[in-house]
Amino acid sequence: MSDTIFSKIINREIEADIVHEDDHCLAFRDVNPQAPLHVLVIPKKPIDKLVNAADSDQALLGHLMLVARRVARDQGYGDAFRLVMNNGEAVGQSVFHLHLHVLGGRAFEWPPG
């Protein structure tokens, strides 16, 4: 996988407003927020998109979901938030480093998009 803006954030080559970090992932505020809460949760392991994750990444992928929950609660959004993961350019993925969008603090439409 080539260098992405997210790998540069992980390597501290680019600054970000980090709200969570552990051995496996990083969570930071989106620079173009689409809701009052808009945090990206990214694995430190370079995975470009979900379809290319290995079966051995199961624990990591679950960890990202639990971190998203923690971030929403820590940021004051309790149990009301939306998780979005785009998989591929055709559905809106613009950075090819797997990431979860944690969104909250406003009403959302259904279906999305």
36 preceded by cis ω (within 30°)?
A: no
Catalytic residue among 38, 63, 97, 99: 99
Residue 87 near residue 51 (C-beta atoms within 8 A): yes
Between CA 59 and CA 12 the distance in angstroms is 25
Write out the two tokens for 100: 């979860």
Write out the two tokens for 25: 């992932």
Is 99 a residue of the active site? yes
Q: Which residues are catalytic?
A: 99
